[in-house]
Amino acid sequence: MTNSDHKVVLITGCSSGIGLRIAVTLAKDEKKRYHVIATMRDLRKKDKLVEAAGDAYGKTLTLLPLDVCSDESVKSCINSIKDRHIDILINNAGVGLLGPVESISIEEMKKVFETNFFGVVRMIKEVMPDMKKRRSGHIVVMSSVMGLQGVVFNDVYTASKFAMEGFCESMAVQLMKFNVRLSMIEPGPVHTEFETKMMDDVAKMEYPGADADTVRYFKDVYLPSSIDIFEAMGQTPEDIANCTKKVIESSSPRFRNLTNSLYTPIVALKYADETGGLSVNTFYNLLFNFGPLMHITMSILKCLTCSCLRRRTISPN
């Protein structure tokens, strides 16, 4: 299935969305440089991936079951790969959580961290020792701009991404000594079936434990604003896949890789004021005081910004 010319790439969370598109993009590489091991928790959900892979399936792309929340599943998956040899690990599996924090149980919060944080840690712990022995490898982690800047009503999801950013920032220093690279991919809004369904679901839900004003702010202020931002600034899974491909093919890959240039000023607010007041007050005013103005601004941005700029990905080289 593979040869010495292929780089073995293992990707988590490939049943849909970004993970699926990264797997297909690498498997269909014109120079056939990659052997992709696409993984998902439930192989019964493989149909979309198999269809998108086309002729690459069974040749440059194979499937393995993997649950990043299970130590046994992670170890079994890696052990089933010849010589446990993985050149590139792409940690993509993740879950979202949206809504007033008063209505979210601690168990729901733990599930988010179990996948988004500990799932990544499990994968790195299992793959890293072999990479260090070979003095070669590249670990890629799918993060988010929410790992750099907090977003209202995304408290728990943001916290899981912040935790992952801190973990990886620490690991990157050690790994560099072993010639192993670690890169973060940090998308903003991405149009996926998962995001669309989540937005639809949360708009219909009740939020026991949260006061009426908070629920109203969430449904009548935050959700419309979020939809405006997605429509004006959202990228596609293909955009993120192309960005990821550029990162792994770079001769000197960056540690942090924002995929959407329009988000750079938003993230910069946080670092322009060490007290944090600038970013907190700016987002407060945008959401609660200048909501109609933001809607107009996003509409203008959507009309004026061509798709090539709105979806522009980074150029690591």
Antiparallel, parallel or unpaired: β 256-258 and 88-91: unpaired
81 annotated ligand binder = no
276 annotated ligand binder = no
CA–CA gap between residue 276 and residue 22 (Å, rounded): 35
- The residue whose two tokens read 């103005």 is 293
Half-sphere exposure of 38 (CA within 13 A, CB side): 32
140 annotated ligand binder = no
Q: Are 74 and 93 in contact (CB under 8 A)?
A: no
Q: Are 126 and 75 in contact (CB under 8 A)?
A: yes
Phi, psi of 55 (to 5 degrees): -65, -20
37 annotated ligand binder = yes
User: Catalytic: 157?
Assistant: yes
188 annotated ligand binder = no
73 annotated ligand binder = no
170 annotated ligand binder = no
Residue tagged active-site, from 57, 157, 217, 263: 157
25 annotated ligand binder = yes
Token pair, residue 104, equals 């979210």
34 annotated ligand binder = yes
52 annotated ligand binder = no
* SS3 of 12-78: CCCCCHHHHHHHHHHHCCCCCCEEEEEEECCHHHCHHHHHHHHHHECCCEEEEECCCCCHHHHHHHH
29 annotated ligand binder = yes
Token pair, residue 222, equals 């935050």
Annotated binding site: which residue ranges? 13-41, 67, 144, 161
Annotated binding site for NADP(+): which residue ranges? 13-41, 67, 161
Annotated binding site for substrate: which residue ranges? 144
> Which of the residues are catalytic?
157
